Structure 1
Amino acid sequence: MKKIKAIILLLFVVATFSVNATNVNVDALPDSIQYSVDLDAIEIISNPKTNTPVITFPGSVSVLNAQMLEQTNTVSIKDISSYVPNLYIPDYGTKLISAIYIRGIGSRINSPAVGLYVDDVPYIDKSSFDFDFNDISKVEVFRGPQGTLFGRNTMAGLINLYTVSPFQEEGLKVKLGVANYDTYNAAFNFRKKISDKFALSLSANYNTRDGYYTNQFTGKSCGDEEVAGANLKLQFRPTSSLDITLSSIYEYSNQDGYAYQMYDKSTQEVSPINYNDYAGYKRNMSVNSLKIAYTHEKFLMNSVTSYQFLTDDMNLDQDFTPIRDFTLQQMQKQNSITQEIVFRSPKTIKGWDWLAGVYGYYSHIRTKGPVTFYDEGLQYMVETPFNTMYSQIASRPGFRGPKDLSLQLDKTTPLCVDGLYKTPSWGVAGYTQATYNNLFTEGLSLTVGLRLEYEKTKLNHITNSLRNMTGAIVGSMQIPQMPFPIPINEAIDVPLSVQGNESMDALELLPRFEIEYKVNSSLYTYVSAARGYRSGGYNFQAFSNIIRNKMIIGAVGNYASMMPPAMTAETDVNSMISYAPEHSWNYEAGIHYDLADKRVAFDLALFFIDCKDQQISVVEGFGRVTKNSGRTHSTGVEAALRYSPIKPLQFSASYGYTHAVFRENYDGERSYKGNYVPFAPAHTLAVDATYTLDVNKKCLDAIEFNLGMTGQGRIYWTEANDVWQNFYGLLNSSITLRKGMASVSLWGKNLTATNYHTFYFETLNAKNVMSQSSFVERGRPITFGADVVVRF
């Protein structure tokens, strides 16, 4: 409570200051904090591998600057999906989950299909993708395979985030905010240029809020979160040709609950959130990097070294019901090192531009995953299936075994099955790309790139129970010519253990071909073809199913010959837990049109993707696993328009269409050929308008009005296409009052209170494992708040 009062007090002080702030010439402010958009400015892609104007980049890219991030209250990676065509990042679960889809290709769990770089540092694991934004100057989203230059797990695209350089902008920025659902946040950014050779920046942020919905069982809000982070950057420029940057980023997050509600897909009725066991997620993550940029008259060199550390703790009520079935805990400890060195030409020499680089990484993940089966879990997951199956078999004509046999387990104490999984992986790559300009005619260029990448992943796994599964098979057997039945009471004492070592490796060639034609200084066209690749891996959650199978097999014991083979067959561990790499070819054609004097910019792209062994997330038993689905085709179009008819008014719109379908997909029981790929929206749409009214009064310089709408759908949730989310739109708005170096913003999201679902999954029914239950998570309700920003 004291913390909340302190934030409110600070908010009041800063608001008071903003009203009396000294009048400052807005035109003198740094570009990143001016509130007018200048389409005459040339937007540059910042990555050292593709340091070119957006208009000349032969591919689909969207750039969100700091002003747009502020106007739309974009605070995490999950918020940007609404503004980029064919990008979908559903906001559900916790920060552990970063499901990113581009053009029908993506991943809910395990290997990502979209890469994430922050200040040119590759984030190795998607468990670290979702963090709170602070001091972000720009977001770049590349759509389509980026594997030639960026390697593994960028087959659908790449997201680049950049923080502000202290050499470019100095000063202190303080931001305080409040919103409904008891949301309070605070952030500051301090940047100082000590000399022409040394500058530093320090930023920190804190956010806390209650969950949007209530768990009926506990009567408490579900989804509370608390996040704190800090970022330190030291930048050295000892000479005009050398730039050295040391950076360290840290974030702590604590989230309570998963807002999953039981869903009846036949009636589309949604039950309240109602589960009994604790569910939540805690995470500590740190990313540290050293960047060296060296300029020589014959080449430019960039070196990026990083060390990444993450520990987390996830707890799940795995059945999401009031029944005390079983719970899952997953604790990860990750250590990763990356190194990349890139050389490229400083300018075009005799028509040629070139670059070459090497990359290497090592990652070690230690995952501990205890699963606890309680009395009702042992009853419904082991006893009931055994007894039901045996009763059905015993009722068949001619059956000569015991008629009334039943399994009775010892349920006086929970059965805890512990798991330890160590996953070291490493990889190396070399790549090159060359562009020949003015090929045959002026304005025509050809680019060819190639990457050779090798990676190896190992898994050392030990899964065992802290006590044996004990109990008895009881009943009786009637023997002909015997006057009474013979009682049966056979004790069972089954050890539960699975252990082993698995490994997989891959050697991949990732080529890229591009032809670009400069019609004039405002119009560029291009065609490209590129190969994409996503790593294979292992499903840790599959081990809970493996152990359950061992329970059934152990319980069957001497009666195995009477049971169906599917019920007693031993599990092939490697085939059950592993999934293969995914490959694709992406073909694209597009145009970039930027007529600055008329303040118009337009992009259009058409694409076709042929994907083999596409990795999709499915439910197997009580776990969610990744499997290969055969072959898919994705075709579609993307368009973006930016228009400023008069300087105070800026308008933008983007649209994406994706037709992603299975060409081959058979699960052993049915074919899904022709069905839509799950979690791939057919349509994405964003429309945004900003108008700045110059007031130029003593107490107020300007008022900025922003109104936007985002939409996406239809989204199919399953391979069978029997459950879906229709297209929905969200209305968002903000009003910002600016005076000198201070501003006050009032904002709202989902102002029409649209009811929609961001996630759907199926799992085994808690009381009847022979059937399934369905769950959904509702999207965010209407949210609104106020932010105060002061710059010193």
Structure 2
Amino acid sequence: MRLKSAVSVIAVAVSTVVAPYAVADAAEQAIERLSIKGDFRQSSLNQLPGSVALISEQDIKRQHAQHLDDVLQQLGNVNFAAGASRGRYLQMRGIGERSEFVDSINPSVGVLVDGIDYSLLGLPSLLDAQQLEVFRGPEATRFGANAMAGMLNFVSSEPVFEQSTSLSASLANYSSNQLSLVHNNSVSEQFAFRLAAEHQSSDGFINNQFLNRDDTNNIDENHLHTKFRYLVSEQLTLDAVLNLHDINNGYDAFSLDRNRTTLSDEPGQDNQDIAAAMLKARYTGWQFAESVTQFSVLHADSDYGFDEDWSFQGIHPDGYATTDQYLRERQNYSLDHRFVALDQSWVSGVYLSSQETDLNRNYGDSFAKEIYPFFSELKRQNIAWYLESQHQLAPDVKLTAGLRAERYQDDYQDSNLIMQDGDDWMWGGKLSLDYQLTPQSMVYLLGSRGYKVGGINGEALAKAMDPKNSSIADFLKARPTFSPETLWNAEFGVKAATAEQMLVSRVAAFYMWRDDMQVNGWVNRGTKFIGYLSNAGSGRNYGIEMENRLQLLPTLTLFANASVLHSEIRDFVTEQGIDQTGREQAHAPDFQYSLALEWAMLDNLQLNTGLQHKAGYFYSDSHSAKADNMTLLNLKLSYQLDALELALWSRNALDEEYGVRGFYFGNDPRDGYQDHVYEQFGEPRRVGVSASYQF
């Protein structure tokens, strides 16, 4: 017992040096019982080996987060890229994609919404959030090919067998408003449902000087979530989800003057129409295990386009005028069936999925008055078998082993008569050993392997056939495809809490190496760009991440998250002949932290403050343009009057200017197309009021 107590104290000290100042009365503490729902077994956050962060509904409200962009700033070793009206592409521990244009990409970080695969679509809404689970590091055993670097799992609130309704509304600068309704009810003792609807709109943060408009980068979104639960019998429960998203946003984010004033004469759009459904059956009548079967379907139509020259016809005699539009239609079907032992000692299952992506690209030249169309079709089928077992080696020592074998088949064709078939087996898994020091503290060792599929460089092959690109044709032809990538991860972690829950702390140290690292490269000729994916020899990513909650006083709570990351590229040479070996990977900030205070000033008055910092990072693996350091201050003052809550809030209260996507090239004819760093900026100072009422 002395050894366990000593190690527990050391484990807590690893994450923080402020524990001696925690003096709150244990009787007044709220015990932290955070449960992870995205794993095979629902388990406590502090008893799950692996670096997993959980953002609760209260965490979202504390910063008055309205979209995923706002939430992710709270977490260490998590980043995102925009290049659209919202942040859509995720990176964890410095690994992840940053855009999708002609070629369909394979995500390193996937997104699940109530068990439905939203990867590459982003997280459209935080509507009716129960929690957001962030799995950092390879999670192949549980999630497969879309979780090589991690997984974002969004869980909305479950239906309950009672009636409740809540209404909320917000008004903010830039003509912004948000209105939502959540209603829960039961039809009988066996059937309950939950409905949530939301509308968001804003003029956006761009002033288009040429069109004399301030709404060309606007937000106009409608979301509907419905959940149903049917207790068929004591052994069988059916759950169903239906989600609808109607997104009609503008996209006019990049400025030749490198500020928030644009000159576009044909501003773009970022539209999505998404319909997704899921049906899950849980049966507990077997003698040896319970079974879980889930079928999901998603259909998404997107219209993403922009004014490529970022200006108007006639801005300069040497100017050009082109537009680019990408119309994508995606259909995903998946079936996941697994058995979970009644004693939770093993899980085994199969996973089947089918995905079809059709792209229509319309590249327009306004001077020539021509539209140059392009069409491609990608069909992919996946089949996987997985197994995970747990062995209690001693009362407080547990060994977990997981394995997943997955085969994918691709069928690609496009309007340039390029056809390519892919067929490959991949495997991943994990092996962890955890030692439960106390019911509230543990240490663990983890080894895991993740993977993602390869693909075809359809754009590069098509451009290689164009006589205008004869000088680079050989370079492009030499890169028709790119290979699958694998990621190995070694991790040591500590999760601990004091008996009184005055301090809760989680820290993980990791070392990851990437084999056949997929790198996004660009061939730039004047104002024309050709993208391709290639395989660098390898990559390295290692660092530390931690989350802490400290009860300073009965009325004052501190939240402190931080991360340190080192990353490097190995054996990658750009088309310009630049050897990037040893350079940091893109979108991999080497330091991040987030501090938040929650102060219950009075029984019905609460103040929340949050400070978030992110170090600068490279925007791309193929050039050296960097984002600046970023520090954001968020404030919220809320007043509770029975069932009514009123709040005054501000995000980015110091009006920090920071980039969320960046490029480096010449695009301004007024200076002879000199190279510059062009950035899309995150939201400026936001100030608003909100009200919510529950009945």
Q: Does 1:667 align with 2:583?
A: no
Distance 2:208 2:339 in 1: 55
Paired residues for 1:254-333 under 5 Å: 254-262=248-256, 272-296=261-285, 297-322=287-312, 323-333=319-329
Match of 2:446 in 1: 528
> Runs of 4 or more off by more than 6 Å in structure 1?
768-771
1:540-577 C-alpha deviation (Å, 9 max, x unpaired): 65477457x33466xxxxxxxxxxxx26x57866x556
Match of 1:707 in 2: 609
Distance 1:688 1:152 in 2: 35
**CA 106–39 in structure 1, closer or farther in 2 if over 3 Å, else same:** farther
Distance 1:425 1:37 in 2: 54
User: SS state of the match for residue 60, structure 2?
Assistant: helix
TM superposition shift of 1:324 = 3.9
TM superposition shift of 1:182 = 0.1
Distance 2:138 2:378 in 1: 26
Give the alignment partner of residue 342 of structure 1, picking from 330, 338, 345.
338
**Matching residue's letter, 1:253:** I
Give the alignment partner of residue 420 of structure 1, picking from 375, 381, 395.
375
**CA 546–596 in structure 1, closer or farther in 2 if over 3 Å, else same:** farther
User: SS state of the match for residue 35, structure 2?
Assistant: coil
1:287-335 C-alpha deviation (Å, 9 max, x unpaired): 1110111223521211110110011112222232334432211111111
Paired residues for 1:146-545 under 5 Å: 146-167=139-160, 170-221=163-214, 222-262=216-256, 272-296=261-285, 297-322=287-312, 323-347=319-343, 353-375=345-367, 413-437=368-392, 439=393, 441-462=394-415, 498-539=416-457, 542=460, 545=463
Q: Does 1:111 align with 2:110?
A: no
**Matching residue's letter, 2:448:** A
CA contact (8 A) 1:587 1:607 kept: yes
1:410-457 C-alpha deviation (Å, 9 max, x unpaired): xxx4332211111111100000011101x1x43111111111000112
TM superposition shift of 1:787 = 1.1
Distance 1:217 1:577 in 2: 41
**Matching residue's letter, 1:742:** L
Identity of aligned residues (%): 20
**CA 452–747 in structure 1, closer or farther in 2 if over 3 Å, else same:** same
1:626-660 C-alpha deviation (Å, 9 max, x unpaired): 43333110110011111113332221100011101
User: SS state of the match for residue 89, structure 1?
Assistant: strand
1:574-616 C-alpha deviation (Å, 9 max, x unpaired): x556332221101100100022414210111100010122223
Larger Rg: 1
Paired residues for 1:714-725 under 5 Å: 714-719=616-621, 722-725=624-627
TM-score (norm 2): 0.89
CA contact (8 A) 2:628 2:659 kept: no
Q: Does 1:73 align with 2:64?
A: yes
Q: Does 1:747 align with 2:649?
A: yes
Match of 2:315 in 1: none
CA contact (8 A) 2:251 2:268 kept: yes
1:691-730 C-alpha deviation (Å, 9 max, x unpaired): 12344xxxxxx01110011111121224366322232210
TM superposition shift of 1:337 = 0.5
Q: Does 1:631 align with 2:586?
A: no
User: SS state of the match for residue 692, structure 2?
Assistant: strand
CA contact (8 A) 2:270 2:302 kept: yes
Distance 1:129 1:628 in 2: 25
> For the aligned residues, what is the CA RMSD?
2.4
1:362-421 C-alpha deviation (Å, 9 max, x unpaired): 01111101212343xxxxxxxxxxxxxxxxxxxxxxxxxxxxxxxxxxxxx433221111
Match of 1:758 in 2: 660
**CA 770–620 in structure 1, closer or farther in 2 if over 3 Å, else same:** farther
**CA 205–720 in structure 1, closer or farther in 2 if over 3 Å, else same:** closer
Q: Does 1:610 align with 2:524?
A: no
User: SS state of the match for residue 211, structure 1?
Assistant: coil
Distance 1:67 1:773 in 2: 41
CA contact (8 A) 2:543 2:563 kept: yes
CA contact (8 A) 2:80 2:98 kept: no
User: SS state of the match for residue 61, structure 2?
Assistant: helix
User: SS state of the match for residue 714, structure 1?
Assistant: coil
CA contact (8 A) 1:542 1:620 kept: no
TM superposition shift of 1:766 = 6.6
Match of 1:582 in 2: 485
Paired residues for 1:108-147 under 5 Å: 108-109=98-99, 110-123=105-118, 125-126=119-120, 128-147=121-140
**CA 39–660 in structure 1, closer or farther in 2 if over 3 Å, else same:** farther
**Matching residue's letter, 2:74:** Y
TM superposition shift of 1:169 = 6.1
The more displaced of 529-538 and 717-726 is: 717-726
Distance 2:641 2:499 in 1: 29
Distance 2:241 2:640 in 1: 32
Match of 1:619 in 2: 522
**Matching residue's letter, 2:571:** E
The more displaced of 179-188 and 232-241 is: 232-241
**CA 511–37 in structure 1, closer or farther in 2 if over 3 Å, else same:** farther
**Matching residue's letter, 1:514:** S
Q: Does 1:788 align with 2:691?
A: yes
CA contact (8 A) 1:49 1:342 kept: no
TM superposition shift of 1:346 = 2.3
Q: Does 1:688 align with 2:592?
A: no
**CA 47–170 in structure 1, closer or farther in 2 if over 3 Å, else same:** farther
Give the alignment partner of residue 45 of structure 1, picking from 36, 40, 54.
36
